[in-house]
Amino acid sequence: MLAPLLATAAALTLFLAGPAAPQTAKSKGYRTTPVGYSDTPVLPGSRWRVHDIARPHPRAITPGTESTQDRPGQPPSDASVLFDGRDLSGWMARGGGGDRGKTGPARWKIENGYMEVVPGSGTIFSKEKFGDCQLHIEWAAPTELAGASQWRANSGVLLMERYEIQVLDSYENPTYADGQAASIYGQYPPLVNASRKPGQWQSYDIVFEAPRFEGDKLVKPAFATVFHNGVVVHHRQQIVGRMAHRVVGTYAPHGPEEPLGLQDHDVPLRYRNIWVRRLKGYDEP
Ligand code: MG
């Protein structure tokens, strides 16, 4: 009996009081702080004050999700997705067979959400070009072991077509240290060997700073920070020059943005979940 009466009384009170005033953090009794200041010192080398009220805010994005062995994760909302498991429309081939240097459609195999190198069909390149970027890529070596050292499931992530983060089955497969998985090929071994067994999906997360040229002159070399399966293996490592075998790679001028390449090294290695985010200042358009 009492409950319906109380409910009616509550409804009547609400009706008589009219719409409630909007509640703010302050009216709720929460502690607050100003959302910025204009009387604080200017940061050294900056045009912004400490806690500057006029300083623009970073764009909000939706972060991605982690991959599992069974399924790839979701890229962040502001990433350029270069391969989502469906097709090679974002890629083209160059080289392969007797046609090295010739450009054509990418002819790697698509299957079950991954792409697989078709040996001899050529290294593939993204149609989109990148300079400074964050790159995520996953790969898996074949379980059938067909060779050793550099012939054990070799491929490569070619930043700007020419700076190679080595892809190799380095699980119990000795090779020269600067040529194992996650090495900057021919230059720097990874800090540790974080390789998984062949057949398992592995990830590279790369923060790459493109080199800068003024005319023919190199004014700033490239740098790479690399995580292999979540483990840091290069910490802003300066890159010596382009990928080279048995010689020291050097720099030659190129554009501020160039395609991403994936190497055909005659082994049916697989890739999935490839995305890139261009790196720029948070307040740059
Ligand atoms: Mg390679």
- Per-residue DSSP letters for 57-118? PPPP--------SSS--PPPTTPEEEE-SS--TTEEEE--TT-TT-EEE---EEETTEEE--
> Domain 80-278 adopts which CATH fold?
Jelly Rolls (2.60.120)
15 band by pLDDT with thresholds 50, 70 and 90: low
Residue 174 alpha carbon to ligand 1 centre in Å: 15
Residue 280 alpha carbon to ligand 1 centre in Å: 29
Q: Given this model, what pLDDT does residue 7 score?
A: 53
Q: Given this model, what pLDDT does residue 97 score?
A: 47
Residue 157 alpha carbon to ligand 1 centre in Å: 8
What are the residue boundaries of the structural domains of the chain, listed by start? 1-55, 80-278
The percent of residues in the chain predicted with pLDDT above 90, rounded, is 81
Q: Given this model, what pLDDT does residue 1 score?
A: 47
29-72: pLDDT as tens digits: 888 889 999 999 999 999 999 999 999 999 999 999 999 999 99
Residue 88 alpha carbon to ligand 1 centre in Å: 21
CA-to-CA dists, residue 51 to 32, 43, 236, angstroms: 15, 10, 29
Query: C-alpha 234: how far from its chain's center?
Result: 14
Residue 179 alpha carbon to ligand 1 centre in Å: 8
Q: Residue 11: is its pLDDT beyond 70?
A: no
140-149: pLDDT as tens digits: 999 998 899 9
Q: What is the average per-residue pLDDT within 242-254? A: 96
Q: Given this model, what pLDDT does residue 130 score?
A: 97
Q: Given this model, what pLDDT does residue 248 score?
A: 96
195-211: pLDDT as tens digits: 999 999 999 999 999 99
Q: Given this model, what pLDDT does residue 98 score?
A: 46
Residue 100 alpha carbon to ligand 1 centre in Å: 17
Q: What is the average per-residue pLDDT within 172-178? A: 97
Residue 37 alpha carbon to ligand 1 centre in Å: 52
Give dist(CA 96, CA 124) in Å, integer. 10
Residue 213 alpha carbon to ligand 1 centre in Å: 26
- Grouping H, G, I as helix, E, B as strand and the rest as coil, residue 170 is coil
Q: Given this model, what pLDDT does residue 103 score?
A: 83
Provide the 10 A C-beta neighbour count for residue 227.
Answer: 18
What number of helices (H) and strands (E) belong to the chain?
Answer: 1, 16
The structure's pTM equals: 0.88
Residue 78 alpha carbon to ligand 1 centre in Å: 29
89-137: pLDDT as tens digits: 999 998 654 455 678 899 999 999 999 999 999 999 999 999 999 999 9
**Contact indicator for 206, 224 with CB cutoff of 8 Å:** yes
Q: Given this model, what pLDDT does residue 22 score?
A: 73
Q: Given this model, what pLDDT does residue 4 score?
A: 54
Residue 168 alpha carbon to ligand 1 centre in Å: 7
Q: Residue 20: is its pLDDT beyond 90?
A: no
Q: Residue 260: is its pLDDT beyond 60?
A: yes
